[in-house]
Amino acid sequence: MNDPSGRTPRAPSGEEHRLLRESVRAFTAREIAPHVADWERAGELPRALHEKAAAAGLLGIGFPEDVGGAGGDLFHTMVVIEELIEGGGSSGVCAGLFTHTIALPHIVAVGDPSQVDRFVRPTLAGRTIGALAVTEPDAGSDVAALRTRAVRDGDHYVVNGTKTYITSGARADFVTVAVRTGEPGHRGISLLVVEKGTPGFTVGRRLEKLGWWCSDTAELSFADARVPATNLVGAAGTGFRQIVAHFQTERLFMAIEAYATAQRALTLAIAWAKARQAFGARLADKPVVRHKLAEMARRTDVAREYVRAVVGRTLTGEDVAREVAMAKNTAVEACRAVVDEALQIHGGLGCMRECEIERHYRDARILAIGGGTTEIMNEVIADRLGLEP
């Protein structure tokens, strides 16, 4: 392995991907890496970053050009996440900057021209910020149990309820909200876009959390909030189906963030092992440390290769829900093990706020919970093992 990061180069490695890598690397070095510590302290990303990322052509990647996107597919998004994290960004930066990748896809898929003009185009241009609100204080993994109610009243829906743990919730100009418009259970759920400034819609507490400090997280509440019925995304009662369909991509994004974070932790650990002396020799010369690094490289490579293979299969239209769940769990498990060892190799420095690995260590923990927990991924896998009697 000649690459100083210990990374084995792999596809997607065409010319187009190579140019994209270079452009993300330059953008990250200039606009992200020098500022992450400040954003972590501030508890949010600046709006200007969204505008800059849009101007650099990064925000619209993975979205069709006819809705204001930059085109490209999941492999292009993968390149963006890999380079952003390897260049000194973080999964927290990805969560805050790319929240639109969970807030917009339902709107794009339904394709209502007015909704595309009002929500999709300005967000992909970096002028507005969107969020997705599914989770409630009493309904997380069990999405079908959500209680936020939207009752039709003439040309409006009247919304009442509470959402929690909402990424970019404090900054969002609009929120794609999962609401109950019908019967109990998954068939009664719809998606409704609620805009900032709607009377009765308030952003409650900003939640302080373990990791992803630069990505604001909020509680949202709705008290008789009147929302135009034209903001309904797709037909009433199709919300659950839409949410599940787009979960696949969110889970793959998190899997990519996980192995990319593992790779960054490995890069940092290798650099430190080469620089640090103990007992008259470099850490990198000690068999125990060498084997730790070898194991970290193995875990990272295996996760990356598996996730990439699943992304490739997704792009051919195969039903890979089981493999997507396996990809998330594989990459998250690799990430947790690798960041833990990377911190250990840094010694006391690894516990210091000033040390980048400390941030990845905290951020990594969230990946096993967001986008569907490890246990829920195992449920998805078990459901497809033919276990029924």
Ligand X SMILES: Cc1cc2nc3c(=O)[nH]c(=O)nc-3n(C[C@H](O)[C@H](O)[C@H](O)COP(=O)(O)OP(=O)(O)OC[C@H]3O[C@@H](n4cnc5c(N)ncnc54)[C@H](O)[C@@H]3O)c2cc1C
- Active-site residue set: 250
Q: Which residue is nearest to ligand X (CB)?
A: 140
By C-beta, is 217 or 231 nearer to ligand X? 217
Q: List the x/- string, 67-86, binding to ligand X by CB under 6 A.
A: --------------------
Query: Which tokens belong to 197?
Result: 């400034």
Among 54-62, 74-82, 246-254, 363-371, which window interacts with ligand X (CB under 6 A)?
Answer: 363-371
Options 93, 262, 338, 376; binder of ligand X; rule CB under 6 A? 376
Task: Measure the CA–CA gap between 261 and 87, rounded to whole angstroms.
Answer: 11
d(CA 233, CA 191): 5
Q: Which of 61, 47, 137, 138 is nearest to 97 (CA)?
A: 47
> In terms of CB distance, is 29 or 382 closer to ligand X?
382
* Residue of 189, 366, 367, 380 that binds ligand X (CB under 6 A): 366
Least distance (Å) from ligand X to the CB of residue 377?
A: 9
Of 8 and 141, nearer to ligand X (C-beta) is 141
Number of amino acids touching ligand X (CB under 6 A): 21
The interface region with ligand X, picked from 34-42, 221-229, 270-278, 369-377 by CB under 6 A, is 369-377
- Identify which of residues 134 and 320 has a Cβ nearer to ligand X in the complex: 134
Q: CB of 212: closest distance to ligand X in angstroms? A: 5
Q: Is 48 exposed, middle or buried (0-12, 13-18, 19+ CB in 10 A)?
A: exposed
CB of 253 to ligand X, least distance (A): 12
Out of 63, 174, 212, 259, the residue judged to bind ligand X by CB under 6 A: 212
Quick one: 296 or 364, whose CB is closer to ligand X?
364
Cα separation of 178 and 163, whole Å? 9
* Sequential DSSP letters for 126-156: TS--EEEE--BTTBSS-GGG---EEEEETTE
Tokens coding 326: 């396996």
Q: Which of 217, 231, 261, 314 is in the footprint of ligand X by CB under 6 A?
A: 217
Contact call for residue 220 and ligand X (CB under 6 A) = no
Task: Please list every residue from 114 through 173 that binds ligand X, using CB under 6 A.
Answer: 131-135, 140-141, 165-167
* Residue of 91, 123, 296, 300 whose CA lies nearest to 213: 91
Cβ proximity of 260 and 82 under 8 Å: yes
The yes or no reply on residue 379 touching ligand X (CB under 6 A) is yes
- Figure out which of the listed residues 209, 276, 282, 384 binds ligand X, where binding follows CB under 6 A: 209
Q: In whole angstroms, what is the distance from residue 203 CA to residue 222 CA?
A: 9
- CA of 17: how far to CAs of 22, 29, 72, 78, in Å? 9, 18, 10, 10
Task: Label each residue of 195-239 as H, E or C.
Answer: ECCCCCEEEEEECCCCCCCCCCEEEEEEEEEEEEHHHEECCCCCH
Among 72, 161, 350, 370, binds ligand X (CB under 6 A): 370
Which is closer to ligand X, CB of 133 or CB of 345?
133
Shortest distance (Å) from residue 341 CB to ligand X: 24
Q: At its nearest, how many Å lie between ligand X and the CB of residue 366?
A: 5
At which residue do the structure tokens 């290798």 appear? 270
Give residues with Cβ within 8 angstroms of 214, minimum separation 6: 36, 39, 40, 42, 43, 44, 45, 90, 92, 93, 96
Query: According to the binding rule CB under 6 A, does residue 367 interact with ligand X?
Result: no
Closer by beta carbon to ligand X, 254 or else 289 = 254
Q: Nearest-CA neighbor of 88 among 40, 43, 42?
A: 40
- Say how far residue 202 (Cα) sits from the centre of its chain: 24
Contact set with ligand X (CB under 6 A) = 131-135, 140-141, 165-167, 209, 212, 217, 366, 369-370, 372-373, 375-376, 379
